[in-house]
Chain A
Amino acid sequence: MRVLTSRRWRIWLLYAVVASILIALAPNFATRLNQIAILKATSTHLPSMIGFSLVLIVGQLDLSFAAVLTLGAMLCIGLQPALGWAGSTACAIAIGASIGLANGVLVVKARISSFIVTLGTMTMVQGVVNLYSKGGTLSLNDFTMADWLDPMSLLAPRVMICVALVLVAEVVLQRTPLGRGLFLLGGNSRAAWFSGLNVDLTVILAFVLSGALSAAGGVLFAMSLSSANPAMGTGSLMLVIASVIIGGASMNGGRGSIVQGAVAVLVLVTLTNGMSAMGAGFEVQLVASGVVLAATVLLDAAVERRRDRRRGARAYLLRELESAGA
């Protein structure tokens, strides 16, 4: 029971459960080829997941990451003839970072709620994506980068890059002062300010990283599809949000782990992969992911309510009173 409700361990348990069920029931699940496909699909979403986790941990929301992902994909393919692979990738990431910068500045300086800012940015970036692609698909002709990323092996460069990003992010988050500052900011922003942390800069940094990482994720996604279309980000939105929450991050900020989020992405991708193998259509997979996320959210909420009641005071009310004196 402890393991079920513990945010740290339940994701590993969930993976074990899902994998064992699928090994038993799904044909071809445990084959090398299938696992390569799963790793490839998982690593496509890892950069965005890292970015979203960082922003959620500091207590903000970045809803624009899926649109930035799509823009990154589009730019990477569209600029490749002119700038070459290195150039177009760098450009895509730079533009993603500047969108993140815009988000961060609006949240911190204009003091607009991050929900509003990123909702607005999401709409604008999606509009730009549609304008840039004129509603159609961009395809690539030069497959050198795509081939380099995905030779048919379990430890393809794509997977290695993403795993490296996850590990670096996790180490920075859990072991460095910067990472601890992120948690502090999300948990209690006034205490963070009093402790001397530069709150504004840290929040802006989180948004910039989210933008840059989402764009990078877009580049990887474009390479896997060998094309970019305006709707490619939509599935990513719910998948990443679901993974971050199922992986144990708190929706109010202040708690989370990149590695657990990565395992959660793996769980969801494995789940949909297995369901496809068993013949369940795309719609059933959507419902299944939704149900898993809903169950996690409800479980977390129920545990928190019980904890509140046991503590005797309505913690959320006291939190309101504390922050009212700002």
Chain B
Amino acid sequence: MTVGAEVPGAAPSLRFTRNRWRDGLAASGVFAAVAALFLLGMLLSPGFATTTNQLNTLRAVALLGIVASGLAFVTFSGHYADLSVPSIMAFAGTIAISAQPLGPVLSLVAGLVAGTMLGVLNGVVIGYLRVNPIIWTLVTASTLDGVMRWIYSGNQIYPDATTAAGRIFLGLYDQQLVGGIPLLLVVFAAAVLLGHLLLTRTSYGAQVRLVGSSPEVARFSGIDVPRVVLITFMISALAASIGGLLLTSLNKAGAPYLGKGYDFAAVTAVVIGGVTLAGGRGTIIGVLGGVLVIGLLSNIMSLIGIGTFAQVVVQGAVFIAVVGLQQWSLRRAGQDDA
């Protein structure tokens, strides 16, 4: 019987309750930070609490949220991060534009498939050959970057606005569904929700958590660890592809440099959200909190006039500080098995 498999009709296993409480506390810690930042914003700038500003901030973090929800799975499994995310984003968008002759739906699917294939490559090498994930994803990122520049001779690729596929693609980012709700926010909410459900309510999610906590125990419990790892990288690549399609639509053109910076921002969001890099702890709702913290922080810094370069320095400092704090509190609780 695999770990996490449930007897039909029985209540969820008690074994996971204590972990859920602890992770829930970590997640609520993040939301306390969100609330604090909200308060700070209202105090520091009159333009902060307006609906327009809030909506803009939400839209700004939506892409990051989608990508971070997928990346979190790689981190849960104890593999630190998937640093090829920026290149996968650019690749998915560029392939979707090139595939436009296939029609609106198929071109998007082609983009998603292309990106997920990268995830398969990453997952196979890291899961089965056990290469260092940071180094391997850096390798795929730079090679993919080179391949994209080579195929398209370093140019940007423009969707053909005369075709239906082109028009739909260009409008994707700003698309609004029934009731004026932006498609972007719906996809964001769906990504977070699906990720959370996948992690907490399926046996696969329990497997990922166990692999992240202790790979040897997972192996001895009969879990196919390489396959679990493979699927985490596929999830991360799929999320990156979805984000990439939307980002390319926003940019109105495909380019190899799109997505730059998303790797660091997504890892920061994941870490602020309570997911430890050693794996096995955290929730996707926490990641949502981390994304909101980053968005609010940038928003507040912009409103009070701190330039983009300085903001980057602050983000780096916040990143190190948050991880340090996490490690310190875990060590105090005697729970750092990192």
Q: Which residues of A contact B (CB under 8 A)?
A: 61, 106, 110-113, 115-117, 119-124, 126-128, 130-131, 135, 238, 241-242, 245, 251-252, 281-287, 289-291, 293-294, 297-298, 301-302, 304-305, 314, 316-317, 320-321, 324
Contacts and interface: CB of A to CB of B under 8 A. Distances in A.
24 contacts: A112-B320, A115-B80, A119-B319, A120-B316, A122-B316, A123-B319, A124-B313, A127-B309, A127-B312, A131-B309, A242-B139, A251-B135, A282-B149, A283-B147, A284-B150, A290-B139, A297-B135, A298-B125, A298-B129, A302-B129, A314-B219, A320-B215, A320-B216, A321-B216
A123, A241, A297: most-surrounded residue (chain B CB, <10 A):
A123
Contact of A287 (B147, B277, B324): B147
The bracket for how many chain B residues form the interface is 35 or more
Given A115-B134, A135-B309, A121 B143 contact: no
A117, A127, A130: most-surrounded residue (chain B CB, <10 A):
A127
A301 B130 contact: yes
Contacts, number: 135
Nearest to A230: B309
**The 4 A-B residue pairs with the shortest CB-CB distance in the complex, in nearest-first order:** A286-B146, A290-B143, A124-B316, A123-B316
B312 A317 contact: no
B312 to A, nearest CB: 4
B271 A116 contact: yes
Nearest to A103: B320
A216 to B, nearest CB: 23
A304 B130 CA distance: 9
B220 to A, nearest CB: 8
Given A121-B316, A252-B132, A297 B216 contact: no
A15 to B, nearest CB: 21
B203 interface: no
B323 interface: yes
A126 B81 CA distance: 20
A300 B274 CA distance: 34
Contacts of A131: 307, 309-310, 313
A121 B315 CA distance: 10
A219 B304 CA distance: 36
B338 A317 contact: no
A102 B126 CA distance: 31
